Amino acid sequence: MRAEEAFMLARKRFGFAPRCAKYPAFAALIVCFGLSTYVQGQTSQPTVSEVLPASQLVQSSELVRELASASADARPTIVYVGFRTLFAGGHIPGATFHGSASTEQGPADIKKWAASLPRTANLVIYCGCCPFERCPNIHPAFALFREMGFTHLRVLELRTSLAADWADKNYAIEKGLN
């Protein structure tokens, strides 16, 4: 089909002729530029798992085994860093809540609570509010504890949510606030 035919066909279909119908190479260039800009925008931000070292991630099954086999003194301190309402609705048994890491007041509350802990404490933080890669709480909480000097810090990797990656696997859940 020649350019004139494409121009007339577009005019007939749409009631007007898009300017780029005369110049298909130009139209293709615009589409390619738009797609490359979109793809670059999608990959420019590092994901949570790229920022967190793999050695500091723990899977649900591993944490369940650790909690079952460890003596009370050797169990990790589990800290929920997500939203209070979600914590009240259901959380890992023994977990504590001291503030949401993505709120204005949350980091200060978490820091105040953690100030008295030994920096060698075995800490596991988790959220589970949403897919792990988009969680607004994990990265700020991880950075906060790291800046405070905690050396045995791990993150529970809940890929989808606490419901899907913990509760749906029939792992124990507690309800209410601590």
Query: What sign for the dihedral angle of Cα 95, 97, 102, 106?
Result: negative
Measured distance CA(2)–CA(58) in Å, rounded = 61
Question: Per residue, what are the HEC states of 146-161?
Answer: HHCCCCEEEEECCCCC
How far from chain centre, in Å, is Cα 101? 12
- Report the pLDDT value the prediction gives residue 102, as an integer from 0 to 100: 96
CATH class of the region 48-169: alpha beta
Tokens 């709120």 identify what position?
103
Domain boundaries, the chain: 3-43, 48-169
Here the tokens at position 18 are 């898009």
- Report the pLDDT value the prediction gives residue 6, as an integer from 0 to 100: 53
- Report the pLDDT value the prediction gives residue 74, as an integer from 0 to 100: 85
Q: ∠ CA(132), CA(139), CA(43), 5° rounding?
A: 65
Tens-digit pLDDT string for the chain (178 aa): 555 555 455 455 545 444 544 555 444 434 444 434 444 444 444 445 556 889 899 999 999 999 998 787 889 999 999 999 999 999 999 999 999 999 999 999 999 999 999 999 999 999 999 999 999 999 999 999 999 999 999 999 999 999 999 999 999 999 998 6
Measured distance CA(38)–CA(77) in Å, rounded = 42
